[in-house]
Chain A
Amino acid sequence: MADIQELERIASQVRRDIIRQVYLCQSGHPGGSLGNADLLTALYFEVMENDPSFNMEGKGEDIFLLSNGHISPVFYSVLAHRGYFPVKELATFRQINSRVQGHPTTHEGLPGIRIASGSLGQGPSVACGMALAKRMNGDDKTIFVLTGDGEQQEGQIWEAALFAPHNKLENLVLIIDDNGQQIDGPTEDVLKLGSFEDKYKAFGWDIMHMDGNNMAETVKVLKEAQAKRNGKPTCIVMKTAMGKGVDFMEGTHHWHGKAPSEEQTKVALAQLEETLGDFPA
């Protein structure tokens, strides 16, 4: 049984790390990172079988791929606290000579990263390849891949959306962060996305929904998706609030890719409990 409170405590530290990483280098994407702190915490600390000693192939492990690479601060914080690399390395985020690059990359050898992402729309295809390989290798574990909702405007997304059901990739779980925001404003204004449920259903996927800022619900739905083997890939439409956990960042696109000032950082951190210890600045 998951200890939901403990997971929430981890997520609180992850949110502090996000704010502090972005503040320190005055660069990065806090909004979407904050919104996904609960999801990544649930995946790495409860749902996925994963080994922080890290090998690229991930045989016998569940795999997570971040397609919307700009929310790297949340990914880095979760990987570090899970033990993939030293937590103190978070202080080097986006700085010269760091493995903790602006967007995730395998190129600098940071444990936990299996594919570079940042140019959007590519993660689901890579996830399809990994899901296919797991099946070919007789490995029954699950591939999770996260995309933004704005990212669903990329054409390659829909190529993968055709490929996965055609190949019956039942070990693939695509999560869409449906926060309704992208850089230039609400998705509704920038380029309407319509119903993800209708679209993915029509493509042959199973659909699930969850509130990605409700830890208990997130864990429950992820585990259901992980266990499901019915010949179809699963798409989870996940509602989150961009900027979740910091009142002045919540529900707006303004903090998509903007760093807080010293004063704003103080206000933000006052709202987030330090539970595992801050990384040294």
Chain B
Amino acid sequence: MLSLDKLQQTGKKATRDGFGAGLKAAGDQHDNVVMLTADLRGSMKSEDFINTYPDRFIQCGISEANMMGVAAGLATSGKIPMTTTFANFSTGRVYDQIRQSIAYSDKNVKICASHAGLTLGEDGATHQILEDIGMMRMLPGMTVINPCDYNQTKAAVQAIADHHGPVYLRFGRPGWPIFIPEDQEFVIGKALHLNEGSDVSIFATGHLVWHAVEAARELEAEGISVDLINIHTIKPLDEEAVIASAKKTGAVVSCEEHNKYGGLGSAIAECLSKNQPTFQEYVATDDTFGESGTAAQLLDKYGLGVKDIVAAAKRAIAKK
């Protein structure tokens, strides 16, 4: 059982580095895993896989729509294709290709999306997608995963290679604290309990899990007991874990690097409203586009910092 004292930073690496490591491991395990990219092999940190398995790497050029179709064709023929590009170009740009050729066609394609959210940084709002979880979550049959650190991303890539069906795997650009134990099992659809508590439930996904850990430490120091849960799989949501925690604490905070509409917060609210109606606070972007800046500046400006989670937890508790 994990707890706050066990969640210590052991290093710093980007989740996309975790993708690259996981891809190599998945490639070692499955000789039908193939990687596609749309002119972003360097950004995907996958040189190890590409150098080891050059015949299983497909460069598509800046043609994301075609890449999704090629992946669907490869999957039809028994391959496990992993498409790679930025999250923006992995979703909104190719929504209809994913919808028809992959999701509706039941293809075993893994859409691996880096540089998601504000933490992409200086490139600004054109590249900072904050709507992707919502878009992908709405597709019937699509599994949606947003791992939180290097170790979890690496494990997630191996898990999705073992899983049959379309998956959206969302990760990010910046170096980020590593804190999930290397040997922590990753089970698709199973929430990871990070700390037992009784006053407030904090559900977090992606980069914001680390902020939630830091926030929980501050809250615990003030005598507030935090039930901290990492929802790495947003769809299918671990409803049992969400309901049980909300029932126990009666106050909920959702934390994500995504618009407040359509993402983790929405998924939790949909679940609780029909099972365990509970006051909920959203730590998410407030229906806005991002802008240029460093990852840290942006997370602070758009209300996704440690202090924002602490404040949201207190608001949620006050409503009880």
Chain A residues in contact with chain B, CB under 8 A?
Answer: 56-58, 105-107, 114-119, 121-134, 136-137, 155-156, 159-160, 162-163, 166-167
Contact = CB atoms under 8 A, between A and B. Distances in A.
A122 B100 contact: yes
A127 B69 CA distance: 8
- 10 nearest interchain CB pairs? A129-B73, A125-B69, A133-B77, A159-B66, A159-B63, A129-B70, A130-B73, A126-B73, A156-B65, A129-B74
B61 A156 contact: no
Given A129-B73, A156-B65, 9 more contacts: A106-B104, A115-B105, A121-B65, A125-B65, A126-B69, A130-B74, A130-B76, A133-B76, A166-B61
A144 B66 CA distance: 17
16 contacts: A56-B76, A58-B76, A114-B76, A115-B73, A116-B101, A122-B100, A123-B69, A124-B69, A125-B65, A125-B68, A126-B69, A127-B73, A132-B58, A156-B66, A156-B69, A167-B58
A128 B61 contact: no
Interface in B135-183: none
Contacts of B96: 119
B225 interface: no
A131 B79 CA distance: 12
Q: Name which of B60, B77, B96, B99 has the most chain A CB atoms within 10 A of its CB.
A: B77
Contacts of A156: 65-66, 69, 97
A132 B61 CA distance: 16
B100 A118 contact: yes
B76 A57 contact: yes
Interface of A is mostly: helix
Interface of B: 34, 55-56, 58, 60-61, 63, 65-79, 81, 96-97, 99-101, 104-107
B288 to A, nearest CB: 30
Contact of B70 (A118, A126, A134): A126
Given A122-B97, A134-B77, A136-B79, A129 B106 contact: no
Contact of B72 (A105, A115, A121): A115
A157 B96 CA distance: 14
A58 B76 CA distance: 9
Nearest to B106: A106
A56 B67 CA distance: 20
Contact of A163 (B55, B56, B63, B105): B63
B66 A125 contact: yes
A115 B101 contact: yes
Nearest to A128: B70
Contacts of B34: 136
A48 B188 CA distance: 41
Contacts of A129: 69-77, 81
Contacts of B65: 121-122, 125, 155-156, 159
A116 B106 CA distance: 9
Contacts of B66: 125, 128, 156, 159-160, 162-163
A114 B78 CA distance: 12
Q: Name which of A105, A127, A136 has the most chain B CB atoms within 10 A of its CB.
A: A136
B74 A132 contact: yes
A126 B70 CA distance: 5
Contacts of B75: 129
Given A105-B105, A119-B100, A130 B63 contact: no
A273 B271 CA distance: 59
B229 to A, nearest CB: 34
Contacts of A116: 100-101, 104-105
Contacts of A118: 100
Contacts of A114: 76
Contacts of B60: 163
A145 B97 CA distance: 17
